[in-house]
Amino acid sequence: MAEDANRAQKHEHGGGLDVAMARFGGTREAWLDLSTGINPEPYPVGSLSSHAWTALPGSAAYDRLVHAARQFWNVPQGAVIVPAPGASALIAKMPSLTDHAGTYIPTPTYNEHAASFDAHAKSVETAETGQPNHVYVHPNNPDGRLWPAEAMGGRPLTIIDESFCDVTPEASHIELAANDGIIILKSFGKFWGLAGLRLGFAIGTEQTFAAGEATLQDHLGPWAVSGPALEVGARALEDQAWASATRQRLSKDATQLDQLMSGAGAKTLGGTDLFRLYEVPDAVALQDALCAEHILTRTFSYSKTWIRFGFPPAHGWPQLERAVEAVKDVIGAAAPAP
C-alpha cells in the first residue's frame, strides 16, 4: 500500500475534471478547470490542410516547424531541435540519455521528472551532493522560482524544463543549449493553450542527444509528431503578434487573480503568468468548497496549505468571483506553512 501511495504521489497532476464531476455533479460546460497552467484562451487553430490528416508527416512540414521554433526561441547555432509528441514524452526519455545514475531534483517541483528517473532505476535526491545529473524546472512549478544560469552546466546532464517560460522569455536559458550536457525542454500546450495537440521540444547538441543508450531521435521513433501538430505548431510559433498580445493579457490575469484571492484572505506565494500559488489554512477544504461551486483547483500532497489556481477564460471571471465570495470563510487568513 505504501508503494502504491508513493507511486500515485509521483504522478500527481492537474486536470481530472471527470473525477470532480462524478463527485460534485454538473456538466463539463458548467465547470471551470483551473487545476492546470494551460492558457484558457488558446491559439486559434483555424483550418488545416487535408494532407495534414491523411498523409504521413513530411520533411517540409517538419523543417518548417523546426525553423519556426528556432526563430521563436532564438535557439543558438550549435543546438538542434527535436520535436516530440508533448513535453511529457520527452521527460520520459531523458534518463535514457545518461549512463550516470544519481540525479538531483530540487523540490517541491513538477513530479514527472523524478518519476521518470525512478522508472529507469536511477536514484533521485533532493539535496545536492555532487550528483552527475541535475533537473531544474524554470520557472518552477508550483512556486514560479527562477534558477540562475550559474546553477546550470558543468556536469554530464542538466535538464532545464522551460514549459512555463514563454510568458517570461527574457528569463530563458536557451543560450545554454549550445553547450554539451544541457537540454532545454519546451512545452507547446501551456502558453498556446493547445495541450491536446501534444507537442513539445528538446533543444541541445547532437552530442548530448546521443550520449546515452541511443539518440533521442531513435527513442522517439519515426513520425513522432503528427501532421496536424506540425502544421498548427509552425503557424503558432510564427505568430509573434499573438504571442505578444497573449503575454500582456496573461500578466493582467495574474494581477487580477492575486487581487481577488488576497482580498479574500489568501496569501500569495508566487507562480507565473499561467498559474498562481496561494497559502490558505486548509487547501483541501478550500478545493472541495470550490468544487461545490464547479471550480477545480490544484492541491499538493506535500502541503496542507498550498493551493494553485490557473486562470479562467474571459467569460469565466464572474463565475470565479462569485465562487470566491461564496467560500470566503474557508479561505480566511493564511496560516504559516508547516
**Average pLDDT, rounded, for the chain:** 93
Mean pLDDT of 93-114: 95
Looking at the predicted structure, is the pLDDT value of residue 11 above 90? no
E strands of the chain, at which residues? 32-33, 80-84, 103-104, 124-125, 133-137, 157-161, 182-187, 200-204, 267-271, 276-279, 295-296, 298-300, 303-309
Residue 78 — left, alpha, or beta (φ > 0 → left; ψ -120 to 50 → alpha)?
A: left
Mean pLDDT of 7-30: 78
What's the pLDDT at 154?
Answer: 87
Looking at the predicted structure, is the pLDDT value of residue 214 above 90? no
Domain boundaries, the chain: 2-41+241-331, 50-239
Kindly report, residue by residue over 191-211, the tens digit of the pLDDT: 999 999 999 999 999 999 997
**Residue 144 pLDDT grade (very low, low, confident, very high; cuts 50, 70, 90):** very high
Looking at the predicted structure, is the pLDDT value of residue 3 above 50? no
What is the fold of 50-239? Aspartate Aminotransferase; domain 2 (3.40.640)
Give the residue carrying C-alpha cell 470566491.
324
What's the pLDDT at 274?
Answer: 98
What's the pLDDT at 212?
Answer: 72
Neighbours of 235 (CB within 10 A): 18
What's the pLDDT at 13?
Answer: 57
List the strands of the sheet with 267-271, edge to edge.
267-271, 276-279, 303-309, 298-300
Lookup: cell for 170: 527574457
What's the pLDDT at 332?
Answer: 80
**Residue 8 pLDDT grade (very low, low, confident, very high; cuts 50, 70, 90):** very low
What's the pLDDT at 337?
Answer: 47
Sign of the CA dihedral with 288 first, then 289, 295, and 298 last: negative
Kindly report, residue by residue over 68-81, the tens digit of the pLDDT: 999 999 999 999 99
Sort strands 103-104 and 133-137 into parallel, antiparallel or unpaired: parallel
Looking at the predicted structure, is the pLDDT value of residue 96 above 50? yes
**Residue 14 pLDDT grade (very low, low, confident, very high; cuts 50, 70, 90):** low
Looking at the predicted structure, is the pLDDT value of residue 15 above 80? no
The DSSP annotation for 258-298 comes to HHHHHHTTPEEEEE-SS-EEEE-S-HHHHHHHHHHTTEE-E
Mean pLDDT of 301-322: 97
* List of residues 6+ apart from 97 with CB closer than 8 A: 157, 183, 208, 209, 211, 212, 216
Kindly report, residue by residue over 257-274, the tens digit of the pLDDT: 999 999 999 999 999 999
Give the C-alpha separation, 209 to 203, whole Å. Answer: 9
**Residue 89 pLDDT grade (very low, low, confident, very high; cuts 50, 70, 90):** very high
Residue 286 has φ and ψ, to the nearest 5°, of: -70, -40
Looking at the predicted structure, is the pLDDT value of residue 9 above 80? no
Residue 209 has φ and ψ, to the nearest 5°, of: -75, -10
Looking at the predicted structure, is the pLDDT value of residue 336 above 50? no
Looking at the predicted structure, is the pLDDT value of residue 231 above 60? yes
Task: Tell which CATH classification among 3.40.190.80, 3.90.1150.10, 3.30.565.10, 3.40.50.20 matches the domain 2-41+241-331.
Answer: 3.90.1150.10
Lookup: cell for 218: 531513435
Looking at the predicted structure, is the pLDDT value of residue 4 above 60? no
